[in-house]
Structure 1
Amino acid sequence: MRVALLEPLGVPDEMIHELAAPIEAAGHEFVSYPEKTCDAAELVRRSAGADVVMIANNPYPASVVEASDALKLVAVAFAGVDHVALDACRERDVEVMNCAGYSDVSVAELTVGLTIDVLRRVVAADAAARAGGTSAGLVGREICGKTVGIVGTGHIGCAATRLFRAFGARVVGYARHESEAAREAGIEFVGLDELLGQSDIVSLHVPLTPETRGWFDADKICAMRDGAVLINCARGAIVDNDALAAALNGGKLAGAGIDVFDMEPPLPEGYALASAKNCVLTPHVAYLTEESMQRRAKIEFSNVIDWLAKH
């Protein structure tokens, strides 16, 4: 079979060659491309004749799936697969595999990092120091003693819970399906309204699905306690970001830490959150660490090798 890695995975070429060696040793063809592309025509060219395509977090649209007659598997080096044309894959019996778990630690750490940035006003303090300013107006708040609401208590939500509890926070959680693993991590399950009403910090960890798109809307933001902080390292389209910007500018919320948006950065001019008060933004980097890139490469190649062995 032909296996095509359509974009870089953020690891050295030597690691790619090492991970691909078992594929070639088993008699399969392996090709890789050193530059990412979002051009559909180029994706069609790269996918031509491939039984397996390997991608990361760039879109793989329906037109490419439909034009790739040999395609049997899309291996995704990412936890979410909402950037893949899943309906087109189902119609053509193309399997889709993800890399669940590779970024649990990195996303959880940035979740806490953004919380610290917002509460301790790190960005504003940095600007003040560089401008010759002082600590005036930079009184912060601590995580210790706060109530943190984790919305979505899967692996990342549990990892974030353990970190928040290490800071001395109480953690409550909401999920459609409660789990013993989440309880063991220290999560106290409550209803969503209760979580929003009592949490000083609300952190989102739910996937993007048709049901969750726009789910965290103005009503849910309004239900948060006054002066709370919202952290989103999940998916940007979960949140009504215009409503979030309005809540920040109007003083309803004390701050927000946002890593994900309605689209992939760069953000367009005039994007509401870019000028919102007390809002720390990062350009979708929660998953992006040296360690997580290595983990996802290993998981993706392992997925492909296992799949090839069964086909």
Structure 2
Amino acid sequence: MKLVIIEPLGVEKETLLEIADKAVGRDTEIVYYDTRVTDDATLIERGKDADIIVVANLPLNETVIDGCKNLKLLAVAFTGIDHIAVEACRKRNITICNCAGYSNAAVSDLVFGLLINLYRNIIPCNEVVRKSGTKDGLVGFELEGKKFGVIGTGAIGSRVAAIAQAFGCEVYAYSRTRKDLPGVTWMELGELLETCDIISLHVPLNEKTRGMIGEAELAKMKPGAVLINTARGPVVDSAALAKALNDGQIAGAAVDVFETEPPVPEDHPLLHAKNLIATPHVAFATKEALIKRAIIDFDNVRKYLDGTPQNVM
């Protein structure tokens, strides 16, 4: 059995290979690539003899999948799999496993880091104090007492809801599936957008969520409201969000995700919008989370080899 780690996973090589060897080394030849490439030909060359490919958020299209003739398992070191040609895998009965849960703490932390930056003007404050300025015009807001809306209440959304309550927020939620979340009031999407001071997105990307926050939805939000997107870029219409920010329709936004993986084009509309904080899809990326991810991913491989696959998508 040949396993190819087709791109770096954000963990030091020695540590990563130790995790891999501990999980599957006795049964598997492990090949590690420490560079990230995106052209089909090189990816096919790397994966053509692999029975198992370990990949993070590197796009693998149908051409690449079909070029990897021996492929039986894609061990995706990520939560979402929208960068994988899923239908091509299904046609060939290739199993796909993901790493749900590894970044729950990391993403939740960044939500509040971004939000507090927006509410307390931390970035402008840092800039002005370096220019001998004062707090004039930079007085911010408290989280306590604000109406906090969570869209999508999976593991991360539920954690965000609990943290928001710890800050003293009133928490509201909208999700396709409702669950028992203490202290959370459920609303339909339109009502939540109209009610809340803060909207935080935590939905996967699929045909139902693509573009779910567009011009009409942004128009329902309060003028003083802010939007946080650490989910997936295409969940939000970027042009509509940029316009809403530039027109003062909403007060601010923070985005960690875009339509494509960074680097983001310099002419992207959100990079020229007012009152916006942008980060380069870093929410999941903490030292701790990347170790958790590697452990889960190779445990997925081990379980697959044992005939008891887990985290199958």
Is TM more than 0.5 here?
Answer: yes
- Match for residue 305 of structure 2? 308
User: Quick check: 1:3–1:28 contact (8 Å CA) kept in 2?
Assistant: yes
Alignment of 1:22-41 (within 5 A): 22=22, 25-41=25-41
User: Quick check: 2:52–2:72 contact (8 Å CA) kept in 1?
Assistant: yes
Separation (CA, whole Å) in 2 of partners of 1:55 and 1:200: 38
Match of 2:234 among 230, 233, 237: 237
Separation (CA, whole Å) in 2 of partners of 1:230 and 1:50: 42
Alignment of 1:188-267 (within 5 A): 188-267=185-264
1:35 maps to a residue whose letter is T
Unpaired segments ≥5 residues, structure 1: none
1:204 maps to a residue whose letter is L
Separation (CA, whole Å) in 1 of partners of 2:42 and 2:18: 26
Separation (CA, whole Å) in 1 of partners of 2:266 and 2:287: 31
1:63 maps to a residue whose letter is T
Give how far 1:25 is off.
4.4
Separation (CA, whole Å) in 1 of partners of 2:24 and 2:268: 47
Match of 2:272 among 268, 271, 275: 275
1:255 maps to a residue whose letter is G
1:22-68 per-position Cα deviation (integer Å, ceiling 9, x unaligned)? 45543321111111111211110110111100001111111011111
SS at match of 1:116: helix
SS at match of 1:287: coil
1:162-198 per-position Cα deviation (integer Å, ceiling 9, x unaligned)? 2111111011000011012xx13x3211111111111
- Match for residue 311 of structure 2? none
Give how far 1:20 is off.
2.0
- Match for residue 56 of structure 1? 56
TM-score (norm 1): 0.96
SS at match of 1:36: coil
Separation (CA, whole Å) in 1 of partners of 2:25 and 2:292: 22
Separation (CA, whole Å) in 2 of partners of 1:271 and 1:12: 33
2:137 maps to a residue whose letter is G
1:70 aligns with 2:76: no
Residues 229-238 or 158-167, more deviating: 158-167
2:299 maps to a residue whose letter is S
SS at match of 1:148: strand
Residues 136-145 or 17-26, more deviating: 17-26
Separation (CA, whole Å) in 2 of partners of 1:46 and 1:23: 22
- Match for residue 169 of structure 1? 169
Separation (CA, whole Å) in 2 of partners of 1:285 and 1:82: 17
SS at match of 2:306: helix
The count of residues paired between Structure 1 and Structure 2 equals 308
TM-score (norm 2): 0.96
SS at match of 1:310: coil
User: Quick check: 1:23–1:29 contact (8 Å CA) kept in 2?
Assistant: no
Separation (CA, whole Å) in 1 of partners of 2:16 and 2:285: 18
Alignment of 1:105-144 (within 5 A): 105-144=105-144
**What is the root-mean-square deviation of aligned Cα atoms in Å?**
1.2
User: Quick check: 1:22–1:305 contact (8 Å CA) kept in 2?
Assistant: no
Separation (CA, whole Å) in 2 of partners of 1:166 and 1:54: 38
- Match for residue 46 of structure 2? 46
1:211 maps to a residue whose letter is K
1:141-161 per-position Cα deviation (integer Å, ceiling 9, x unaligned)? 111100000000110001111
% identical aligned pairs:
44
User: Quick check: 1:151–1:173 contact (8 Å CA) kept in 2?
Assistant: yes
Unpaired segments ≥5 residues, structure 2: 309-313
